[in-house]
């Protein structure tokens, strides 16, 4: 019980308090059990010694009668010798006396019939035990009529120590007096231990309070310890060696904490600027790559004799202008140390903007699909394009080694959400990487800094949207983006 108590999650004060109570209670129970056991042993010893004394006295009376009798001292004359004397012996010693021959048949008894057996004979088991006893004596313990008895059997001998008869003395173990004494003792013991229990409860309460008070102070101080504030040291007067060691360790920690706080703040600022620089470099690199591809494609496909040159130039310049606007927004956000780039709330057609974002990609395996004419959302145009281009770019990189690459961009909606789904049949993402795929700096590619999906997730969540991933290795991945749908009736 005490072991389970100490392993529980109770407070130290409660454990100390209960431990002392359990120890005092356990000690009192053990002492009571030991007392009862000792009283029982003393009672048995008392009855044994009393029976031995009675037997010695009765044997002395019997031997006296045998010496002065005029009858021949033989077994057959025992009933004649003790015809009346056996009753005198009973009255003198206040104990019933029975005499048996060596075969166990009753010769003379101070009562009409012997109680052990209706026939008045000693059973064979007792006779055998008596014959085999080195002391020529055998005692049987039994209960009859709710009382405990000791029945003693021993030999009566003549002057030549030849056995004449068997003496039987039934002795009642009267324990009333001893039982009363035991009850009185246990009652007094209970009173003493109740008093001790009251003192133990008081002392354990005070002691546990005294021990745990410094620990409580230390605990409160530790809870209030902050990196961004000035922390006070613990000051405790007289305390144990263990508590003093703990207090000194805390105070030393506070000194070290204050000395390292400034360095930590400096490192955090430097780390923040380095992270910002990495993010800016990554975000600027995103539009540069499709711009380069667009220029190369335009140069390769441009034909002076093509009558649609004017339309192609317009599409080319529109695409480049869009990417330049994105780079300009990133630079502006970095220069003002604000969000990258600053968010705007514009009423947009999700289908139209998604198509526009896909125009920078020349891969023929990129497929756009939407069964709806218009899905209105309220987002930032530049950031929405960044979300789409990042997801599609990741999908194209995933299918680089596929024999039959396919990237599908679906735009659809339900009652509450506008949804963009980008799926591919690429390499897929292992289960151990799925939970980390949106973490900054995490990447499975040999190049890149792993900031693209983290930025995408940040943009989506800033507009109260969400992004999810389903992927199986060697089958492909599906990124699903959901934005709150804008009610068309609110458009003016």
- Render pLDDT for 107-118 as a digit per residue (tens, 0 to 9): 888 875 544 444
User: Given this model, what pLDDT does residue 2 score?
Assistant: 46
Position 233 in a domain: no
The CA angle 18-20-21, to the nearest 5 degrees, is 65
Of residues 86 and 257, which shows the higher confidence score? 86
The CA angle 28-29-30, to the nearest 5 degrees, is 90
User: Given this model, what pLDDT does residue 28 score?
Assistant: 77
| Average model confidence (pLDDT) across the chain | 77
How many domains is the chain built from? 4
Residue 63 pLDDT exceeds 70: yes
Residue 457 pLDDT exceeds 80: yes
Position 244 in a domain: no
The CA angle 138-101-83, to the nearest 5 degrees, is 110
- Give yes or no for a contact between 427 and 364, defined as CB atoms under 8 angstroms apart: no
If asked whether residues 414 and 456 sit together in one domain, one would say yes
Residues 6+ apart with CB under 8 A from 423: 395, 407, 408, 410, 476, 477, 478, 479
Pair of tokens at residue 236: 């405790």
If asked whether residues 60 and 187 sit together in one domain, one would say yes
**pTM over the 0.85 mark:** no
User: Given this model, what pLDDT does residue 468 score?
Assistant: 92
**Domain boundary residue among 277, 311, 340?**
340
**What is the rounded distance in angstroms from the CA atom of residue 167 to the CA atom of residue 152?**
8
Helices 241-301 and 452-462: angle between axes, nearest 10 degrees? 100
**What is the rounded distance in angstroms from the CA atom of residue 372 to the CA atom of residue 411?**
8
Pair of tokens at residue 30: 């053990």
Residue 175 pLDDT exceeds 50: yes
Q: Pairing mode, if any, of strands 407-413 and 366-369?
A: parallel
**What is the rounded distance in angstroms from the CA atom of residue 9 to the CA atom of residue 17?**
14
Give tens-digit pLDDT for 349-394. Answer: 999 999 998 988 888 899 999 999 899 999 988 889 989 998 999 8
If asked whether residues 380 and 289 sit together in one domain, one would say no
User: Given this model, what pLDDT does residue 248 score?
Assistant: 74
Residue 8 pLDDT exceeds 70: no
SS3 assignment for 1-13: CHHHHHHCCCCHH
- Averaged over 319-341, what is the pLDDT? 62
Residue numbers of the domain that contains 333: 258-340
- Give yes or no for a contact between 175 and 44, defined as CB atoms under 8 angstroms apart: no
Residue 33 pLDDT exceeds 90: no
Position 379 in a domain: yes
If asked whether residues 449 and 349 sit together in one domain, one would say yes
Residue 346 pLDDT exceeds 90: no
Of residues 101 and 172, which shows the higher confidence score? 101
User: Given this model, what pLDDT does residue 441 score?
Assistant: 55
Residue 10 pLDDT exceeds 70: no
User: Given this model, what pLDDT does residue 6 score?
Assistant: 47
From residue 364, give the alpha-carbon distance in Å to each of 322, 360, 405. Answer: 21, 12, 10
Residue 415, classed as helix, strand or coil, is: coil
If asked whether residues 166 and 185 sit together in one domain, one would say no
Give tens-digit pLDDT for 273-291. Answer: 666 666 666 667 667 777 7
If asked whether residues 357 and 336 sit together in one domain, one would say no
Number of Cα atoms under 13 Å in the Cβ half of residue 309: 8
**What is the rounded distance in angstroms from the CA atom of residue 125 to the CA atom of residue 334?**
112
Pair of tokens at residue 407: 């990237």
User: Given this model, what pLDDT does residue 270 score?
Assistant: 64
Of residues 438 and 468, which shows the higher confidence score? 468
Q: Please report, rounded to a whole number, the percentage of residues in the chain having pLDDT higher than 90.
A: 13
- Averaged over 87-109, what is the pLDDT? 87
Of residues 24 and 91, which shows the higher confidence score? 91
């Amino acid at each position: 019980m005490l072991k389970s108590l100490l392993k529980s999650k109770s407070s130290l004060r409660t454990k100390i308090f209960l431990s002392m109570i359990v120890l005092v209670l356990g000690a009192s129970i053990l002492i009571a059990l030991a007392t009862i056991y000792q009283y029982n042993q003393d009672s048995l010893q008392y009855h044994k010694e009393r029976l031995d004394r009675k037997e010695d006295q009765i044997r002395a009376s019997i031997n006296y009668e045998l010496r002065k009798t005029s009858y021949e001292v033989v077994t057959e004359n025992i009933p004649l010798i003790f015809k009346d004397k056996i009753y005198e012996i009973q009255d003198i010693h206040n104990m019933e006396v029975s005499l048996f021959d060596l075969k166990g048949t009753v010769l003379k008894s101070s009562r009409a019939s012997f109680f052990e057996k209706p026939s008045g004979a000693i059973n064979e088991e007792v006779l055998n035990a008596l014959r085999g006893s080195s002391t020529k004596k055998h005692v049987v313990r039994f209960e009859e009529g709710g009382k405990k008895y000791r029945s003693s059997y021993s030999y009566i001998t003549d002057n030549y120590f030849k056995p004449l008869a068997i003496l039987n003395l039934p002795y009642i173990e009267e324990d009333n007096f001893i039982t009363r004494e035991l009850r009185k003792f246990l009652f007094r013991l209970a009173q003493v231990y109740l008093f001790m229990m009251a003192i133990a409860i008081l002392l354990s309460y005070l002691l546990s309070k005294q021990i745990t008070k410094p620990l409580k102070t230390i605990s409160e101080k530790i809870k209030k310890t902050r990196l961004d504030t000035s922390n006070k040291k613990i000051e405790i007067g007289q305390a144990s060696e263990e508590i003093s060691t703990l207090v000194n360790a805390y105070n030393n920690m506070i000194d070290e904490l204050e000395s390292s706080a400034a360095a930590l703040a400096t490192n955090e600022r430097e780390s923040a600027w380095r992270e910002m620089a990495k993010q800016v470099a990554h975000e600027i690199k995103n539009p540069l790559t499709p711009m380069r591809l667009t220029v190369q494609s335009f140069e390769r496909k441009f034909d002076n004799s093509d009558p649609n040159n004017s339309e192609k130039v317009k599409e080319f310049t529109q695409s480049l202008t869009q990417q330049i606007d994105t780079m300009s927004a990133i630079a502006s956000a970095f220069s003002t140390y604000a969000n990258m780039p600053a968010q705007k709330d514009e009423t947009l057609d999700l289908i139209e903007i998604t198509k526009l974002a896909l125009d920078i990609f020349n891969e023929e395996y990129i497929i756009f699909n939407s069964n709806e004419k218009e899905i209105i959302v309220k987002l930032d145009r530049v950031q929405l394009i960044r979300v789409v281009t990042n997801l599609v770019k990741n999908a194209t990189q995933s299918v680089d080694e596929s024999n039959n690459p396919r990237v599908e961009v679906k735009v659809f909606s339900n009652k509450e959400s506008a949804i963009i789904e980008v799926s591919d049949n690429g390499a897929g993402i292992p289960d151990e990487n799925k939970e980390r795929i949106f973490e900054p700096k995490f990447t499975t590619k040999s190049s890149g800094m792993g900031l693209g999906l983290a930025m995408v997730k940040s943009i989506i969540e800033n507009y109260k949207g969400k992004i999810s991933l389903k992927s199986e290795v060697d089958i492909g991945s599906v990124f699903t983006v959901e934005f709150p749908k804008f009610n068309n009736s609110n458009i003016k």
